[in-house]
Amino acid sequence: QVQLVESGGGLVQAGGSLRLSCAASGSISSANLLGWYRQAPGKQRELVAFITSGGRTNYADFVKGRFAISRDNAKNTVYLQMNTLKPEDTAVYLCLISWAYGNYWGQGTQVTVSS
């Protein structure tokens, strides 16, 4: 059973930055897709960004130019660098890693952006 552990969330002022990490207990080098989602209170979970096994990245329009997803296969970790944060970015951020044998979610990390 693969476990994913997110970290790096917290409270930050608008305009600030945070870097989220998602550490996997298994190797991510064989993962097909690694992604970050977020869910704000009373809202549906939404895709923020993903990176494929080939390194292709994709971002939701609302984070383009501000967030960057990356992966470190040696550390089995996927990152989300978040810059120029806005109050509307406040949410629980969760990582999803997809392998051929299944999809796994982390427990989430809270990001709160104050105005």
Mean per-residue pLDDT pooled into runs of 10, the chain (115 residues): 95 98 95 97 97 96 98 97 98 96 96 97
Q: Hey, which residues does 35 pair with through a beta bridge?
A: 50, 96
pLDDT at 67: 98
Q: Hey, which residues does 20 pair with through a beta bridge?
A: 80
Report the candidate in 106, 37, 101, 103 with the shortest Cα–Cα distance to residue 77.
Answer: 106
pLDDT at 109: 98
pLDDT at 1: 84
